[in-house]
Structure 1
Amino acid sequence: MHQQDNGKAETFDVAVIGAGVVGCAIARTYALAGARVVMLEKAADILDGASKGNSAILHTGFDAPPGSVEAACVTAGYREYLEIREKLGLPVMRTGALVIAWTEEQEAILPDLIAQAHANGVTDVEMLSREDTLRREPGLAPSLRASFRVPGEFIIDPWSAPLAYLGQAMAHGAELRRSCKVLGGDFGGTHWDLKLSDGSVRAGLVINAAGLYGDDVDLALIGRRDFTVRPRKGQFVVFDKSAAALAGHILLPVPTKITKGIVVCPTAYGNLLVGPTAEDQTEKDVADLVPDTLAALRARGEEILPGLKDHDVTAIYAGLRPATEEKDYRIRHHADQNYVTVGGIRSTGLTSALGTASYVFGLTEQTGFHYDPPESVHWPTVRNISEAQQRDWERPGNGGVVCQCELVTRREIESALEGPLAARSLAGLKRRTRVTMGRCQGFHCTARLAEMTEGHFAVPMAEATGHD
């Protein structure tokens, strides 16, 4: 129940800390169960942490550690995404993936990876010879030795999914508070009193989905860390849209114990992506781009697909993954404190988010957290910004194209600036519309965007020194 505490802190059933993709999915699950949810996000907009930079692959979980929490959450999340995506207006590009061996040693590992896929319930993988692989992807370097195909690996829009999850949660009463940092809190036996940068809230259950800062939030609230986040930076290069024709599959390397490795794949926005790197660091708020690393990344992409040498790089970016001391997810239910930590959600977080939310809900349901579900479920749809479906520029009455590189219309921008989930920053607007993502990186549309967004952003574009 949502109520006032003697005119002081508002009371909610559940407070979710961190509006990344996992936090948004958790908010959705609890809201659909009937809980009164508040989402607390320290940034000016959602998806501002680890969730803003990923390769946007919907993973089958074929290479997840069998029996792990990650494997269970990825499998469940994959299944639920495909079940609900049409109701929420979410796209999918059914590309499939090729896991490619380039050396004799890697080729020897392929049977073990296939066995691992089978152990994870992914039984439709198909071993391919060098010749069969090249028939499917003739643009690959002929030096490859063999591969196997995973038909169920798909490309999705990495930003529309969490926006849809949180949008559905808010349609069922969830509240979003941005620019709202959790400073501390006290558990009184039945409720948490959370101290925030802009006030306070009371919640019966607190779920820490703070990503890169999950261990810090644990320390602030329960006085200890059960794990330590070790940020792992991933740098990416994005090739021009003309390069997308070079590959029809997600091209995966043979993974290592540390990383899934360098991926070459189409994107939902019509480009071709190469990345990420896997660089451990200590800083949680800096993801610097390193020219030499980016040059090496581009060179590796050209080794895999020699035709990339004839195409330009449109964009470069970097993101941080909240890696920890262990490879598996670090989900801990502190039942005696009405508190759950959801940590260590790394590169599979986009796929696993819905499954992770269900997993967490199951943990708290076992300890007595029950709510009254709504009589009917609302399914608000998100506006499509992917190339998998019709775009707004193709429809009449759109007000004209503002961002020429990405064909973003005035109507799309105006829509993204309104409503309870309105963009509060240029980075947030980009993640809702694709503005500034193209070849000119905003050079030609920034002035018009500054005019259109005046009064909408926490920091006006005229005062901002840069954007994501």
Structure 2
Amino acid sequence: MTQTAQTYDIAVIGAGVIGCAIARRLTLEGARVVVLEKAADILDGASKANSAILHTGFDAPKNSLELACVQEGYREYETLHAQFNLPLDRCGALVLAWSAEQEARLPELMEQARANGVDDVAPLTGTETLALEPNLNPNVRAAFRVPRESLIDPWSAPHAYLLQALLNGATLKRNCAVSGGSFDGAIWTLDTTQGSLQAGHVVNAAGLYGDRIDAALLGQTQFTIRPRKGQFVVFDKMAAGLARHILLPVPTATTKGIVVCRTVWGNLLVGPTAEDQDDRDTACLETETLHMLHAKGAEILPALAQEEVTSIYAGLRPASEHKDYQIRAHAGRNMVTVGAIRSTGLSSALGTAAHVARLLQGQGHTPAPLPAPHVPRMAMLAEDGSRDWQAPGNDGMLCHCERVTWREARASLADPLAPNTLAGLKRRTRATMGRCQGFYCGQAVQDLLAEGTDA
């Protein structure tokens, strides 16, 4: 196609983890990509709050698109995380049974895992479970272990995906909401808050607004987003030693349930809840629910009752009336919708991106892979990784709780994906996210952000 300053091969709507992964994949395939994000910063919707688990798909619906994307995404993350300097904590998970009814379901869940290709699950008696997790409530009856369930950084990964796209020629437009558009049989013209632009193909990865973008561009939608809120309690780093594995409940028909696990940053979290709501933008914290989560965590790990809480947070997942992902190519419209990606979006992102790329090829997109793409190295934020504070010449500590140096904070403000907001800077560096929650470093971080965004 004839290219102009505002004409692209592919426009990706939404810069959550899914949109970031798609932008990376398509850019590496040689496409001229633009990413349109309505918020001031990326990862500002569903992707800003999750449990940071890299799932194997052991409990995904059999033969589902979700399962296929999760497994392909897991494999690709394993392949590339070292290149990007991203953490991967292969701690494994335990699915715990606390009642006779739950224990009776374990064989069925293990069989589902094996049918899903996760054939290394292993049953455990209550005694064997306590040997692996001595801080568990001794009332645990039985469990099974999923060795390859892992913990990752939920923000460094999508930052790496989009940063690689930008370093290899993609464009990011923040504060750029899509309000409508038209397709003339060859080219899309999209109306945005920054004016109109053209693209040969469109990918709708708008998350919590995915159905509304479909309605605006196609005149109809085949799913309806009903936000599902999840609230979390995060315990101080002294609590992390209480759990060696990701501790999972026996799932229900609607939710994976409340999880207890460490984070790669050295904390321990309990959550999420699963609460349907109409509001797509605000995830309110509720005192009663947070007390319930605290009590639930202490029920599973009794010693948690004596541990300090560092922070609380809530996020929204783009659930719909369908159990499976809603990913489809629209015949004759040069558009792919990626909708209703719920709690496994972080795990499936790279696999979903590969699936979308194949759908676009069916619509005429022709890959021309870059011969030697740039690969960014991300700042390591994991507690047990090689951190900048351990290296000479780091200009000293900006955030002592999370050991964030001035050098790495300034570096995040100097790259092509520099944050525009305090929340964005926090996700890039973890500054202000530690024990004091910014009480000591908050003003310095704000000043640094103002200095960087004015530059």
Q: Shared fold (TM-score greater than 0.5)?
A: yes
Q: Please give the residue correspondences for 1:28-427 in structure 2 after superposition, counting only pairs within 5 Å.
A: 28-427=24-423
**TM, length-normalised to structure 2:** 0.98
Please tell me whether the aligned partners of residues 361 and 367 of structure 2 are also in contact (alpha carbons under 8 angstroms).
no
For 1:337, what is the secondary structure of its paired residue?
coil
For 2:282, what is the secondary structure of its paired residue?
coil
C-alpha distance 99-60 of structure 1, shift in aligned 2 (>3 A): same
- Give % identity: 60
Please tell me whether the aligned partners of residues 422 and 446 of structure 2 are also in contact (alpha carbons under 8 angstroms).
no
Give the aligned residue type for 1:239: F
For 1:454, what is the secondary structure of its paired residue?
helix
Distance 2:388 2:218 in 1: 47
Distance 1:318 1:168 in 2: 29
Give the aligned residue type for 1:389: G
Please tell me whether the aligned partners of residues 2 and 36 of structure 1 are also in contact (alpha carbons under 8 angstroms).
no
Please tell me whether the aligned partners of residues 401 and 408 of structure 1 are also in contact (alpha carbons under 8 angstroms).
yes
- The offset of 1:375, in angstroms, is 2.0
**Mean CA deviation greater in 328-337 or 53-62:** 328-337
- The offset of 1:335, in angstroms, is 2.5
- The offset of 1:363, in angstroms, is 1.3
- The offset of 1:450, in angstroms, is 2.1
Distance 1:329 1:413 in 2: 36
Matched, 1:435 2:449: no
Please tell me whether the aligned partners of residues 333 and 339 of structure 1 are also in contact (alpha carbons under 8 angstroms).
yes
Give the aligned residue type for 1:108: A
Structure 2 match to 1:454: 450
Please tell me whether the aligned partners of residues 36 and 173 of structure 2 are also in contact (alpha carbons under 8 angstroms).
yes
In the alignment of these two chains, the number of paired residues is 455
Distance 1:379 1:403 in 2: 28
Structure 2 match to 1:24: 20
For 1:453, what is the secondary structure of its paired residue?
helix
The answer for unaligned runs of 5 or more in structure 2 is: none
- The offset of 1:2, in angstroms, is 7.6
Distance 2:55 2:186 in 1: 38
Give the aligned residue type for 1:330: Q
- The offset of 1:149, in angstroms, is 0.2
Give the aligned residue type for 2:202: V
Distance 1:78 1:452 in 2: 36
Distance 2:446 2:91 in 1: 37
Distance 1:432 1:122 in 2: 33
Q: Deviations over 1:32-54 (max 9, x none)?
A: 11100000001111000000100
Distance 1:236 1:290 in 2: 10
For 2:30, what is the secondary structure of its paired residue?
coil
Please tell me whether the aligned partners of residues 167 and 416 of structure 2 are also in contact (alpha carbons under 8 angstroms).
no
- The offset of 1:383, in angstroms, is 1.1
Distance 2:261 2:81 in 1: 21
- The offset of 1:416, in angstroms, is 1.2
**TM, length-normalised to structure 1:** 0.96
The answer for unaligned runs of 5 or more in structure 1 is: 461-468
Please tell me whether the aligned partners of residues 77 and 355 of structure 1 are also in contact (alpha carbons under 8 angstroms).
yes
Distance 1:367 1:52 in 2: 32
For 2:450, what is the secondary structure of its paired residue?
coil
**Mean CA deviation greater in 385-394 or 11-20:** 385-394
Give the aligned residue type for 1:286: T
Distance 1:286 1:372 in 2: 41
Q: Deviations over 1:14-66 (max 9, x none)?
A: 00000000000000110011100000001111000000100000000000001
**Mean CA deviation greater in 241-250 or 442-451:** 442-451
Distance 1:106 1:202 in 2: 54
- The offset of 1:372, in angstroms, is 2.0
- The offset of 1:3, in angstroms, is 2.5
- The offset of 1:145, in angstroms, is 0.7
- The offset of 1:448, in angstroms, is 1.1
Please tell me whether the aligned partners of residues 98 and 147 of structure 1 are also in contact (alpha carbons under 8 angstroms).
yes
**Mean CA deviation greater in 63-72 or 415-424:** 415-424
- The offset of 1:455, in angstroms, is 4.3
Give the aligned residue type for 1:392: D
Please tell me whether the aligned partners of residues 93 and 388 of structure 1 are also in contact (alpha carbons under 8 angstroms).
no
- The offset of 1:92, in angstroms, is 0.4
- The offset of 1:446, in angstroms, is 1.3
For 1:13, what is the secondary structure of its paired residue?
strand
Distance 2:274 2:346 in 1: 18
For 1:340, what is the secondary structure of its paired residue?
strand
Give the aligned residue type for 1:3: Q
Distance 2:234 2:214 in 1: 36
Give the aligned residue type for 2:240: A
For 2:332, what is the secondary structure of its paired residue?
helix
Please tell me whether the aligned partners of residues 56 and 157 of structure 1 are also in contact (alpha carbons under 8 angstroms).
yes
**Mean CA deviation greater in 224-233 or 443-452:** 443-452
- The offset of 1:420, in angstroms, is 1.3
- The offset of 1:286, in angstroms, is 0.7
Please tell me whether the aligned partners of residues 160 and 376 of structure 2 are also in contact (alpha carbons under 8 angstroms).
yes
Q: Deviations over 1:96-127 (max 9, x none)?
A: 00000011111010001000000100000000
Please tell me whether the aligned partners of residues 19 and 46 of structure 1 are also in contact (alpha carbons under 8 angstroms).
yes
